Amino acid sequence: MLPVPYCHVVFTLPQELVALALQNPRVVYSILFRAVSETLLTIAADLRLLGAHIGFLAVLHTWNQKMLPHPHLHCLVPAGGLSPDRSRWIRCRQRFFLPVKVLRKRFRRKFLALLATAFRKRKLSFSGSLAQLANPTAFDRLLRQLKSKNWVVFAKRPFGGPEHVIKYLARCTHRVAIANGRLLEMRDGQVVFRWRDSADGNQQKLMTLDALEFIRRFLLHVLPSGFVKIRHFGFLANRNRREALPLCRSLLPALPDQVSTFLTETQQRALVRRCPFCRTGGLHVIEQISARELIELSSVAGANTS
């Protein structure tokens, strides 16, 4: 991790490509990684925008809150990069990393070009409701429809230093389609879980599914054997970072000040854990108890009361 602010950029595949991705996960998700990486590296290198060689890591998620297919790539990017001559660190603007409209258009064009190439090389398979796409005319019609559609690219402003990134990675990198904490109960063959409705102000809601449907949705997100869902690019790529990271650090003299200038007052307050009761005092960790220890303590307490 570099001690600089980081940016969070999300690239999402349109719904029209979901079924194709489910039938060809290795090919389509590999194209997604390549299209996103080439988009970010190319746009960031443009002298009119940032003019820097960047590095980033990308994490593949294939689900939404209802465990339905929703392929998207989360990218965590240091807010800046190396100059073309590798002599200085170029910072991005404080309010945004790269223009979203430009990213969206380049991502769409690159992905569709790679998808067309995969089709010509017969790397895609079509069955069931997609059987008609095996016809080149039908496939070209799909590509034309997707070219006229606005693809979703979401970019947050720089949000803090490496400590924020580590917390994010701890939550998200090895996440599966649903976390244990969202599972509430299973009764009479029905599974009840909690989900967040982004279309309704991120309200927490409950959903009940038949157990077989729950398992079906969960298995939709099992990736092909050996598929790597966390990848590094640019100066963070495996072949580059041994030399690039020390160079980046040597070009960053005022590290704490750089990070703090990107944090708003609200974000700085959020870094301090407050007491949930008085809301004023700071919360300090005295001891951590594992789930196993907690169960053992509960068992001992229950035995003593009986």
**What pLDDT does residue 281 have?**
64
To the nearest whole percent, how much of the chain has pLDDT over 70? 82
pLDDT at 24 over 80: yes
Highest mean pLDDT among 80-94, 214-228, 267-281, 285-299: 214-228
Q: Would you place residue 164 in the very low, low, confident or very high pLDDT band (cuts 50, 70, 90)?
A: confident
pLDDT at 27 over 80: yes
pLDDT at 192 over 60: yes
Q: What is the pTM of this model?
A: 0.80
Q: Would you place residue 176 in the very low, low, confident or very high pLDDT band (cuts 50, 70, 90)?
A: confident
Q: Which residues are within 8 A (CB) of 112 and not within 5 positions of it... i.e. 6 or more apart?
A: 143, 146, 147
Q: Which residues are within 8 A (CB) of 17 and not within 5 positions of it... i.e. 6 or more apart?
A: 28, 71, 146
Indicate the domain borders of the chain: 6-177+225-276, 179-219
- Report CA dihedral (134, 135, 141, 144) to the nearest 10 degrees: 60
Are 183 and 215 in contact by the 8 Å Cβ rule? The answer is no
pLDDT at 101 over 80: yes
**What pLDDT does residue 282 have?**
64
Q: Which residues are within 8 A (CB) of 271 and not within 5 positions of it... i.e. 6 or more apart?
A: 160, 263
By DSSP bridging, strand 203-210 and strand 80-82 are unpaired
pLDDT at 261 over 60: no
Give the position of tokens 């409209």. Answer: 101
Q: Would you place residue 252 in the very low, low, confident or very high pLDDT band (cuts 50, 70, 90)?
A: confident
Alpha-carbon distance values, 25 to 69, 137, 147, 229, 263 (Å): 11, 23, 21, 12, 38
**What pLDDT does residue 265 have?**
46
Per-residue pLDDT, averaged over 80-106, amounts to 90
Highest mean pLDDT among 72-86, 265-279, 283-297: 72-86
| CB atoms near residue 189 (< 10 Å) | 10
Structure tokens at 45: 């290198």
**What pLDDT does residue 271 have?**
47
Are 98 and 58 in contact by the 8 Å Cβ rule? The answer is no
Per-residue pLDDT, averaged over 133-137, amounts to 96
Per-residue pLDDT, averaged over 247-268, amounts to 59
Q: Which amino acid is at 58?
A: A
**What pLDDT does residue 94 have?**
73
pLDDT at 286 over 90: no
Q: Where does the chain have alpha helices with state H?
A: 18-23, 25-45, 100-120, 136-147, 162-172, 211-219, 241-250, 255-261, 265-270, 291-305
Per-residue pLDDT, averaged over 138-163, amounts to 88
Per-residue pLDDT, averaged over 125-144, amounts to 96
Q: How far apart are CA 43 and CA 12, in angstroms?
A: 18
Q: Would you place residue 284 in the very low, low, confident or very high pLDDT band (cuts 50, 70, 90)?
A: low
Average pLDDT, the chain: 86
